[in-house]
Each structure stands twice: as C-alpha cells, then as structure tokens.
Amino acid sequence: MKILVCVKQVPDTNEVKIDPVKGTLIREGVPSILNPDDANALEAALAIKDTEPNVTVSVLTMGPPQASEMLRECLAMGADDAYLLSDRAFGGADTWSTSNTLAAGIRKIGDLDIIFAGRQAIDGDTAQVGSQTAQRLDVPVVTYVQDIELQGDKVIVQRQMEDGYELIEVATPCLLTAVKELNEPRYMSISNIVNACKKEITVWGHEDINLSPENCGLKASPTQVFRSFTPASKGKGEMLNGTVKEMSTSLISKLKGLHVI
C-alpha cells in the first residue's frame, strides 16, 4: 500500500506578535514548523504503516528550498521518502495554483492508495488545498477526518461536523484531510533521525512535473491580494478599581446603565 502525505512548512503563528507602536507584524524569532494538522495527517499514515504490511509513506510539499528541513523532520518521524516541489514559478500561489502544482507532483509519483493532507494550514487557514487537489486528481475526498478504519480497499472514516460526526465509507484511492482530534502525532525517533540525514529528498521544478509556468504560482492564481493590513484594535476600555465588591457593583451598574442587562 502506498500512502502520500501533503505537508506544509508554516511560520508558527501562535508566536507572531504585533508591534504595539508600529502596528506591524514582528516576525523575528518566529520558528518555521510542520503545520499542526499536517502532523496529524502524517501520524495517521504512519499508524497504518505500523499495523499493516508493505506500507510506504511518502511526504510531499511545495515550498522554498528551506522547506526540506521540515521534510527531514517528517522522515525522522518515520516517513520513507520525501518530495519537494520547489521552483520560482510556484511562488505566490493561491489555492487554485497550489492544488494544480501538488496534483501534478502527485501524478508523477503515481499509484497511490491514500493521500492525506491536513485540514488547513495555520498561516492561511483556508482548508481548500486538500479538497481542490482531490478534484484535480479525480479521487473522492473526505474532509475533517477524526477517525479512520481500513477495511480492505475501503476506508471507514468519521467526518467531524459542528455537532457530532458522520460515519462515511469511501473506496481507495481517496484523499482524506485530518483534524487534530484524529490522533496525537509521534515524536522523531533517534534511529529515524539518523536515517533521515542519509536520505535524499527529491526536488522537482515545473518541468519535472510537466507544468508550464503559466499554470502555476501567482500567474495562474485567480485570486489576488488587493491589500493587507493589521487588524484595527478595538481600543482599550476602562479598568475598574477598588475591592472585588466595588468593582462588581460598578460593573453591574454600568451594564444596567447601558441597558445591556
């Protein structure tokens, strides 16, 4: 069984702060990490490899050359091989372009039983690339997967809903997007770290995956960023003073004065 996991290197947006004076992003010292939902996707693939015979797990990303650091991390978690789609022509891609490039890379890898992806990346939060890649590959997709059970050439998955879940049957090959409730990603192991250092990462540009520059990156993106700005702060209100009792009384009388309670 061949499994592929689509991953993305992202800035740890939990570590990003806003400069209180200039109102701009402070990027310094913000680490690049394996996108959290993608770690769950990789764990799901590795868990299958742990229990089933003859499973290979590949990881695939599109990104700048430094994304190979994250791919080494995936190898050190237990992935068998890694592919990096890296080309200036891929830069500035929206989800339309990204999915087009990933699908071209996946076609070249070929013959997969299950493709995993994270539900969404924490830098964009779109949750679009997994579904769109599946559409381009013409394989069925189930998003928000929180539980997986293999049954021969079928997969039974729980698809998370806002108020519960749906139990869904889908035939392989298929693409599944993982949410964090799916599992707890493993740590890198010492032996895998040693192996990971020895492994070659396959790097492909647009010609390797038979994609013309017009069909990838910013050029092919239907959506464009018109402008970006830091969200306006609501502005600090009033800090109440005094004892707990005084503050509580004051709060209630203010809210009553505003007719909100």
Partner 1 sequence: MAVKIVAEKCKGCSKCIDSCPFSAIVMENKIAVIGDACTGCGVCVDECPFDAIEKTDETVKKDLSDYKGVWVFAEQREGQIMPVVIELLGEARKLAAEIGTEVSAVLCGENVDSMTDELFAFGADQVYFADHPELKNYRTDAYTKVIKEAIEKFKPEIVLLGATHIGRDLGPCLAVKCDTGLTADCTKLEIDPEDKKIRQTRPAFGGNLMATIICPNHRPQMSTVRPGVMDKAEHVPGRKGKAIKLDVSFEDNEIRTKIIKMVKETGELASLIDAEFIISGGMGLGNPDGFELLKNLAEKLGGTIASSRACVDAGWIDHSYQVGQTGTTVKPKIYFACGISGAIQHLAGMQSSDYIIAINKNENAPIFEVADYGIVGDLYEVIPTILEELNRSS
Q: Which of residues 180-239 bind partner 1 (CB under 8 A)?
A: 181, 218-219, 221-231, 233-239
Question: CB of 126: closest distance to partner 1 in angstroms?
Answer: 4
Query: What is the footprint of partner 1 within residues 138-167 (CB under 8 A)?
Result: 140-144, 156, 159-167
Query: What is the footprint of partner 1 within residues 72-111 (CB under 8 A)?
Result: 86-88, 90-92, 94-96, 99
| Maximum pairwise Cα distance, the chain | 71
Question: CB of 53: closest distance to partner 1 in angstroms?
Answer: 26
Question: CB of 154: closest distance to partner 1 in angstroms?
Answer: 9
Type and span of the H or E element at 68: helix 67-77
Task: Name the amino acid, one letter, at 138.
Answer: D
Question: CB of 211: closest distance to partner 1 in angstroms?
Answer: 15
Distances (CA, A) of 11 to 88, 168, 179, 206: 20, 33, 19, 25
Type and span of the H or E element at 63: none
Type and span of the H or E element at 54: none
The pair of structure tokens assigned to 9 is 């290197």
Residue with smaller CB distance to partner 1, 51 or 233: 233
Residue with smaller CB distance to partner 1, 198 or 234: 234
Please state the length of the chain.
261
Helices 129-137/95-109 angle, 10° precision: 50
Residue with smaller CB distance to partner 1, 31 or 53: 31
Question: CB of 59: closest distance to partner 1 in angstroms?
Answer: 19
The stretch near partner 1 (CB under 8 A) out of 44-52, 69-77, 134-142, 197-205 is 134-142
Residue with smaller CB distance to partner 1, 80 or 165: 165
Query: What is the footprint of partner 1 within residues 15-54 (CB under 8 A)?
Result: 16, 18, 24-25, 27-28
Instruction: By CB under 8 A, tell whether 125 contacts partner 1.
Output: yes
- Select the residue interacting with partner 1 from 80, 113, 123, 208 (CB under 8 A): 123
Residue with smaller CB distance to partner 1, 198 or 245: 245
For residue 129, the SS3 value is helix
CA distance 196 to 25: 34
Residue with smaller CB distance to partner 1, 9 or 192: 9
- Select the residue interacting with partner 1 from 50, 52, 69, 135 (CB under 8 A): 135
Q: Assess contact for 255 and 261: CB atoms under 8 A.
A: yes
Residue with smaller CB distance to partner 1, 58 or 86: 86
CA distance 151 to 168: 12
Q: Assess contact for 217 and 205: CB atoms under 8 A.
A: no
CA distance 41 to 58: 12
